[in-house]
Amino acid sequence: MRNIPVNLSGYKLMVTEEPQIKMRTSESGAEEVVTNFEGETQFVVSLFAKQRPAEGQRAPKGEEIRVTLRTDPGEGFAEGTYVELIDATVSPWQMTRNGQMSAGLAFSANGLKPLR
């Protein structure tokens, strides 16, 4: 399963690294811009996600996540800005390299919206 819709409204999302063009290192070692199947440039942002505490409870420890953005988020997303993800999805992934298995979740969204 891929691109499973996800509701992150129970989390505070704070920008820890400003949005930038997503880059990949090719097999030759050159940096190249990541695009989708239509050739549109992808962006990436790092967010600190911390669950909102329930009344009378402490919030669990947060975690940094990287989110691929399908569109240019524009200006105004400096470090420390609280945001909401537009049409967020998650995709599980798994790969084996040199006999070691890795697995995780890949987050993506159509864009960012600043919280006021």
Encode pLDDT of 15-44 as tens digits. 999 999 999 988 888 999 999 989 999 999
CA distances from 74 to 18, 80, 86, 98 (A): 11, 16, 14, 39
Q: Give this prediction's pTM.
A: 0.88
Encode pLDDT of 77-106 as tens digits. 999 999 999 999 999 999 998 999 999 999
Burial status of residue 43 (CB atoms within 10 A of its CB: 0-12, 13-18, 19 or more): buried
Spell out the domain ranges in the chain: 4-114
Backbone φ and ψ for 94, nearest 5 degrees, come out as -155, 140
Q: 4-114: what fold?
A: OB fold (Dihydrolipoamide Acetyltransferase, E2P) (2.40.50)
